Chain A
Amino acid sequence: GESVGLHLPTLSVQEGDNSIINCAYSNSASDYFIWYKQESGKGPQFIIDIRSNMDKRQGQRVTVLLNKTVKHLSLQIAATQPGDSAVYFCAENPTSGTYKYIFGTGTRLKVLA
């Protein structure tokens, strides 16, 4: 059967408000990070990435911030919409060139109408 796992932290946001999802990564040598969105029963979908030589990158309605000092990554979603409801994972590439990613625990975003 299925194991009982940890419950994902949940962020509830009112539609139209901004969302901030946080992630702590583990390896100070990681040089590339990605945020993924996963809807129920589907595979993860790429949202935005950032290299370690940057501290901020913007996309359409999304911004990723990287703080290497405290090994922290955040995803900001502007004007959150119902379609943004999903689980969000950060992923780090701890070994440059291997293209092997380690995923964070994930955060469930619930958009309230």
Chain B
Amino acid sequence: GAVVSQHPSWVICKSGTSVKIECRSLDFQATTMFWYRQFPKQSLMLMATSNEGSKATYEQGVEKDKFLINHASLTLSTLTVTSAHPEDSSFYICSASKNRVLGGYTFGSGTRLTVV
């Protein structure tokens, strides 16, 4: 159990367009999901905490109007990169936890975004 699915696995978009990335917990309910960003050869940087039924909590320096997060159900969170620019090109990863007591989040497989 504890499978997190992320879609798409890669996307190429034109500068100025918006891209939506989905994160689904397939076999459990997740009231909280997390979105990370990872540049090549770098660590994961937490962007925001996605809370089901309420507004996301963004980390310092992350533009909430640029990275829109919606957690409309207990199994789905979406990250929309609005008006994408080449500097938004990155690897975006979501995570969710089945058992919050034990911690240890399951990560999605990531989405490689390339803005041209």
List chain A positions with a Cβ less than 8 A from chain B.
1-3, 5-8, 32, 34, 36, 41-46, 49, 89, 93, 99-106
Which B19-67 residues sit within 8 Å CB-CB of chain A?
32, 34, 36, 39-46, 49
Contact of A7 among B41, B45, B46, B97 (CB under 8 A): B41
Q: A1-B86, A2-B39, A89-B43 are in contact. Are A100 and B34 (CB under 8 A)?
A: yes
A44 to chain B, nearest CB (A): 5
B39 adjacent to A3 (CB under 8 Å): yes
Number of interchain pairs (Cβ within 8 Å): 69
B103 adjacent to A43 (CB under 8 Å): no
Question: Which residue of B has the minimal Cβ distance to A97?
Answer: B100
List 6 additional A-B contacts (Cβ < 8 Å) besides A2-B39, A36-B107.
Answer: A1-B86, A3-B39, A45-B107, A46-B105, A49-B103, A105-B43
How far, in whole Å, are A102 and B97 apart by their CA atoms in the complex? 16
How far, in whole Å, are A5 and B90 apart by their CA atoms in the complex? 12
A22 to chain B, nearest CB (A): 15
B104 at the binding interface (Cβ < 8 Å): yes
How far, in whole Å, are A32 and B90 apart by their CA atoms in the complex? 28
> Main secondary structure on chain A at its contact with chain B?
loop
Question: Which residue of B has the minimal Cβ distance to A32?
Answer: B103
Contacts of A32 in B (CB 8 A): 103
B104 adjacent to A46 (CB under 8 Å): yes
Contact of B46 among A1, A2, A100 (CB under 8 A): A100
How far, in whole Å, are A66 and B105 apart by their CA atoms in the complex? 20
B109 adjacent to A42 (CB under 8 Å): yes
How far, in whole Å, are A3 and B40 apart by their CA atoms in the complex? 8
B46 adjacent to A102 (CB under 8 Å): yes
B70 at the binding interface (Cβ < 8 Å): no
A100 adjacent to B42 (CB under 8 Å): no
How far, in whole Å, are A46 and B107 apart by their CA atoms in the complex? 9
Question: Which residue of B has the minimal Cβ distance to A90?
Answer: B43
